[in-house]
């Protein structure tokens, strides 16, 4: 079963790269340019597009033990180093390269390809995502670079990495959290689920410390965030400092009920002159994901 799961990951990775490049990805034939070879460990250098920022020392030591016993089983993907003649820049496989150094190997297997900056980031991001090697924040920062620096739409990016568009959007929202919370995500003190529960929280830093101190799971963190919002309301459930609402126009109230019935979520309409404010409330990330999926599907119809 483990082998089948690994093969499934590899097939997913191939489809992702094909979607990114707009063509079928193919492995080189033996003896052809780009075929596997070897290179001295010292001739390889980390690339600038590595999405991983944190390497767990314990996990790396375990990998080094395996490399010491069995060698590096999967070649490291490299390209020619732009500033060091005869050297290589790592595109995918930096963790294996680091483990090889710890294991004191002299040579490592490589596959060299001529790849541009955009493709280098795409490949590094897709490989790490399919290996589950990235923290949620590292994944978010990789997504942001592909969107901001290389013009990917969220839809194309979702197809390429095998994730839903709502996953892309929700992951990118992690970058709006305070720096201290982002650090806790990067160091895996908080999971992606914990972090998403804090996005709309009143005091995310305080709640993050409480989640870590108490060892709360994701559902408990979501409940804590909801209680935090409720604490900002007065006894009548109305936010402090906001005047009591006047009775709502019957037509507006009817429209609220209709929209709530269509979406399965609480909808509130607030009239403001010629315009207004539409608020859709959700109780869980699953409800938000379902709403985004439905809106995306409806927009394509």
Domains and CATH numbers, the chain: 2-22+36-133 (3.90.1530.30), 177-230 (1.10.10.2830), 250-300 (no CATH)
Mean pLDDT of 22-32: 36
Cβ count within 10 A of residue 45: 16
Question: Active site includes 114?
Answer: no
Q: What is the pLDDT of residue 13?
A: 40
pLDDT tens track for 116-173? 887 887 787 777 766 656 777 878 888 888 788 777 788 888 877 777 888 888 888 8
User: For residue 92, what are the CA distances in angstroms to 105, 133, 253?
Assistant: 18, 12, 56
Report whether 267 contacts 260 (CB < 8 A). Answer: yes
Q: In this structure, what token pair is assigned to residue 116?
A: 């541009």
Helical residues (DSSP H) of 74-116, grouped into ranges? 94-102
Cα within 13 Å of Cα(184), Cβ side: 25
Q: Which pTM does this prediction carry?
A: 0.52
Quote the CA–CA distance of 160 and 200 in Å, as a whole number: 28
Q: Which of 7, 58, 94, 270 is catalytic?
A: 94
Quote the CA–CA distance of 172 and 30 in Å, as a whole number: 40
Quote the CA–CA distance of 221 and 217 in Å, as a whole number: 6
Does the pLDDT of residue 24 top 70, yes or no? Answer: no
Quote the CA–CA distance of 209 and 23 in Å, as a whole number: 46
Longest CA–CA separation in the chain, Å:
78
Does the pLDDT of residue 245 top 60, yes or no? Answer: no
Q: What is the pLDDT of residue 192?
A: 82
Cα angle 155, 161, 166; round to 5: 45
Name every residue whose Cβ is closer than 8 Å to that of residue 167 and which is 6 or more positions away in sequence.
158, 289
Positive or negative, the Cα torsion across 61, 132, 207, 140?
A: positive
């Amino acid at each position: 079963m483990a082998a089948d799961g690994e093969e499934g990951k590899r097939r997913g990775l191939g489809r992702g790269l094909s979607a990114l490049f707009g063509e079928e990805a193919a492995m080189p034939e033996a003896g052809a340019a780009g075929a596997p070879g070897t290179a001295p460990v010292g001739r390889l250098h980390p690339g600038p597009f590595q999405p991983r920022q944190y390497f767990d020392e314990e996990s790396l030591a375990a990998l080094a033990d395996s490399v010491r016993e069995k060698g590096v089983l999967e070649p490291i993907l490299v390209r020619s180093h732009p500033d060091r003649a005869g050297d290589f820049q790592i595109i995918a496989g930096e963790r294996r390269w680091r483990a090889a150094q710890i294991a004191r190997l002299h040579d490592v297997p490589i596959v060299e390809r001529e790849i541009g900056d955009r493709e280098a980031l795409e490949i590094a991001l897709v490989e790490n995502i399919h290996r589950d090697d990235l923290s949620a924040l590292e994944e978010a920062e990789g997504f942001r670079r592909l969107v901001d620096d290389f013009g990917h739409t969220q839809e194309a990016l979702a197809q390429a990495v095998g994730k839903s568009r709502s996953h892309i959007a929700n992951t990118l929202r992690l970058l709006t959290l305070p720096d201290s919370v982002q650090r806790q995500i990067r160091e895996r003190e908080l999971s992606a689920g914990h972090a998403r529960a804090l996005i709309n929280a009143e005091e995310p830093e305080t709640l993050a410390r409480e989640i870590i101190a108490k060892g709360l799971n994701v559902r408990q963190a979501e409940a804590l965030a909801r209680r935090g919002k409720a604490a900002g309301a007065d006894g009548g459930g109305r936010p402090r400092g906001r005047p009591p609402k006047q009775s709502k126009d019957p037509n507006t109230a009817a429209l609220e009920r209709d929209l709530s019935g269509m979406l399965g979520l609480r909808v509130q309409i607030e009239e403001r002159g010629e315009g207004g404010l539409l608020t859709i409330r959700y109780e869980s990330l699953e409800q938000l994901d379902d709403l985004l999926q439905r809106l995306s599907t409806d927009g394509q119809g």
